[in-house]
Amino acid sequence: MENHRLQEALDSLKSTKVRMTPQRHAILEFLFNAKTHPTADDIYKALEGKFPNMSVATVYNNLRVFKEVGLVRELTYGDSSSRFDSNTSDHYHVICEDCGKIVDFHYPGLDEVETLAEHVTNFKVKEHRMEIYGACPECHKLKQH
Amino acid sequence: MENHRLQEALDSLKSTKVRMTPQRHAILEFLFNAKTHPTADDIYKALEGKFPNMSVATVYNNLRVFKEVGLVRELTYGDSSSRFDSNTSDHYHVICEDCGKIVDFHYPGLDEVETLAEHVTNFKVKEHRMEIYGACPECHKLKQH
DNA sequence: TATACTAATTGTAAAGATTATAAAGTAAGA
DNA sequence: TCTTACTTTATAATCTTTACAATTAGTATA
């Protein structure tokens, strides 16, 4: 089923003028099969076996392209580097402040927040993001010793 | 009234082992009077008149200290550098994707989200953050030409 | 299938933000 | 005042991301 989403992504790229290259295919494939939310460097390291000559620039370039087309979302947390998420459907992230684990979390109906924000600020609202911070079960258990 | 919040912050620092220095006082004062959400470099530049010898490291060090004590919140958006917010009471930010303007936005009752996240993920939830993205009135008007 | 046009990749350098380190300075309590 | 531990400073180092120019490679077209 992950392959299904990947296939959809590949198809949607065909309809643009974005060329398909082996590197792009591999980056997309990795992102769509990833259970985690990898950094650019994670992706680079994961693919250096298959593409020993691939440049980091290629990873960054393509992540930007995928972002522009809407296939990928960039997550910027407090830590040093961005993470990338192929799941662009509406969901939020619960983040462990101790070990960095990120868990997806579905919650409906924050459209109301957007609507209210529009009225109060006169902005033309496009989207929102939310993260929930805390300790994952494992880290929490450790802290209680 | 800003001075009142600043005074409270200074008092709360006295109860810790955090020493008061002229640099720390100036950084806190600047943050608590700021209408915007400045970057570390903004703060550095703003204070270099008063402290020609102050190091950037001092700004970063102290922002970290203030964060640890809970006086200051760090905001990491997509762009290169973090922003800092002295207002640690619950509020959200509405951000213009074109000009970068940030407007505070009050909204109650997302405690429910935290509660649900706890139940679903078994995390021990501590806090959450949310940002709303769009175009500010000025930028939106420009785009309609 | 060969050609040509244009976009993509590579390798490296550069930029920008943040942190580490060691020496010198200073706040705060005894 | 003295002492100690914390802070500041100055600089170097690190880390992430982007810029750039030369080379390579998709893809549309003939």
Segment A91-115, tens digit of pLDDT: 899 988 878 788 989 988 788 999 9
Residue B126 has pLDDT above 60, yes or no: yes
In this complex, the nucleotide whose C1' atom is nearest to the CA atom of residue A62 is C8
Return the residue in A120, A121, A126, A136 with the most chain B beta carbons within 10 A, the one to mutate for interface testing.
A121
When comparing pLDDT for B14 and A55, which is higher? A55
For range B123-138, the mean pLDDT: 91
Would you call A121 and B94 a contact, using CB atoms and an 8 Å cutoff? Answer: yes
What is the predicted pLDDT for the residue at A124?
95
* CA–C1' A131–C2 (A): 54
* CA–C1' B17–C11 (A): 50
Q: Which pLDDT band, with edges at 50, 70 and 90, does B142 fall under? A: confident
What residue has its CA nearest to the C1' of C19?
B57
Beta strands B92-96 and B124-135 are parallel
Chain B nearest C-alpha distance from A139 (Å): 9
What is the predicted pLDDT for the residue at A83?
93
When comparing pLDDT for B5 and B61, which is higher? B61
What is the predicted pLDDT for the residue at A2?
59
What is the predicted pLDDT for the residue at B118?
96
Residue B89 has pLDDT above 90, yes or no: no
For range B102-114, the mean pLDDT: 88
Across chain A, mean pLDDT equals 89
When comparing pLDDT for A1 and B121, which is higher? B121
Q: What angle do CA B26, B30, B33 make, to 5 degrees?
A: 135
Instruction: Give the position of tokens 């989207």.
Output: A127
* Two structure tokens written together for B59: 């700004």
Instruction: Print the SS3 string covering chain A.
Output: CHHHHHHHHHHHHHCCCCCCCHHHHHHHHHHHHCCCCCEHHHHHHHHCCCCCCCCHHHHHHHHHHHHHHCCCEEECCCCCCCEEECCCCCCEEEEECCCCCEEEECCCCCHHHHHHHHHHHCCEEEEEEEEEEEECHHHHHHHHC
What is the predicted pLDDT for the residue at A143?
74
Q: Count of CB atoms within 10 A of residue B137's CB?
A: 13
Amino acid identity for residue A142 in this structure: L
What is the predicted pLDDT for the residue at B21?
96
Q: What angle do CA B60, B77, A28 make, to 5 degrees?
A: 125
- Residues of chain B contacting residue A92, judged by C-beta atoms under 8 Å apart: 113, 117
pLDDT beneath 70, residues of chain A: 1-2, 88, 145
Across chain B, mean pLDDT equals 90
What is the separation of C-alpha A112 from the centre of its chain, rounded to a whole number of angstroms? 24
Positions in chain C where some atom is under 7 Å from a protein CB: 7-12, 16-21, 26-28
**What are chain B's domains?**
2-85 (1.10.10.10), 92-144 (3.30.1490.190)
* Two structure tokens written together for A45: 């390291």
Q: What is the full DSSP assignment across B14-59?
A: HTTTPPP-HHHHHHHHHHHH-SS--BHHHHHHHHTTT-TT--HHHH
